[in-house]
Chain A
């Protein structure tokens, strides 16, 4: 591990120590997993609780990953039901959907923290996230959430390197944003659509594809595969289409460019991206 990354991890540890006790917003992904592990290392298990918010937007594979990681690492873990699907602005699925989701999540976690006598909410945002379009981060700021990785200047590559050195099983886990991120902006978020996407992605993983995104465009599914996997996809078009049809999609498209992080954000007006919000 480079001296710089080591220094930054020390800084993140110091930030967590200053928090005294924490609730970690824990998805089970590589970022929040590292924060949860660092928090336990610094504060001990009595002053750390990793909390996973559950709704139809969180796929079962991710729920299992969170449970497994917490159990492996001996991290106290709690799941709470969240109700973002009851929030009209969230369901409408405009460019600020994540803001409305996190505006439901963080108060729920604050209640948990209050009940357990834990002082600070922390999340897994990293330094790269500061440069991406992340309206959910604004909700975090409004609710006093701290981001030790981002504050310490640890980017995604640093998160993976540190996780590997710490022996965390998440170090090479693919990014796993919630299922609502698969719905094109303007396509309303419903439990049925989220279920379609989850079944479709499960079906593609059963075919052996690893990094998959099924984008729901309302009248069709557009499949994004990692560029390395796209090369073999042509020969498996029948199987891909079959998996998607079984999930309930009548029309199936295969993106010829493959997976691009934040691809659906490309539809947002540039001016609003620069402002970091969408009206």
Chain B
């Protein structure tokens, strides 16, 4: 697997919320969409880390907290790729 898909992002968001992590949104990042970027409070870092294996199993190489979402109080709920080269 080289990267995730918008559908996998939706699945990831569903998993996070089902496990009690109040994620505001998630999106793909990286040139190949290999990173799942989760918008959530930084205080959720450990809780998301505990789910990292299950999230990666959805097709992402890396799972990360989107610090733009945290530091700018964004409430975006992005499920589309933001790929650039």
Contact for A255 among B42, B64, B70, B85, CB less than 8 A: B64
Contact between chains at B61 and A219 (CB < 8 Å):
no
B77 at the A interface (CB under 8 A) = no
Contact for B37 among A220, A231, A233, A238, CB less than 8 A: A220
- Indicate whether A267 sits within 8 Å of B34 (C-beta atoms), given known contacts A237-B67, A256-B64: yes
The residue of chain A having its C-beta at the shortest distance from the C-beta of B38 within the complex is A256
Contact for A219 among B2, B43, B68, B82, CB less than 8 A: B82
- Indicate whether A256 sits within 8 Å of B48 (C-beta atoms), given known contacts A217-B35, A235-B42: yes
Could you say which of A109-117, A145-153, A246-254 contacts chain B?
A246-254
A222 at the B interface (CB under 8 A) = yes
Residue from A217, A237, A253 whose CB has the most chain B CB atoms within 10 Å: A253
B65 at the A interface (CB under 8 A) = yes
Closest 10 CB pairs of A and B: A253-B64, A237-B42, A217-B30, A218-B31, A219-B84, A234-B45, A234-B42, A241-B67, A256-B49, A252-B67
Contact with B along A215-235 (1 / 0, CB 8 A): 001111010000000110111
B1-41 residues at the A interface, CB under 8 angstroms: 2, 29-32, 34-35, 37-38
Q: How far is the CB of B17 from chain A (nearest CB, A)?
A: 16
Contact for A254 among B31, B64, B82, CB less than 8 A: B64
- A186→B44 CA distance, assembly (Å): 31
- Residues of B whose CB lies within 8 Å of any CB of A are 2, 29-32, 34-35, 37-38, 42-46, 48-49, 52, 61-68, 70-71, 82-85
Q: How many residues of A contact B (CB 8 A)?
A: 29
- Residues of A whose CB lies within 8 Å of any CB of B are 184, 186-187, 217-220, 222, 230-231, 233-235, 237-238, 240-242, 244, 251-257, 263, 266-267
Q: How far is the CB of A267 from chain B (nearest CB, A)?
A: 6
- A186→B62 CA distance, assembly (Å): 16
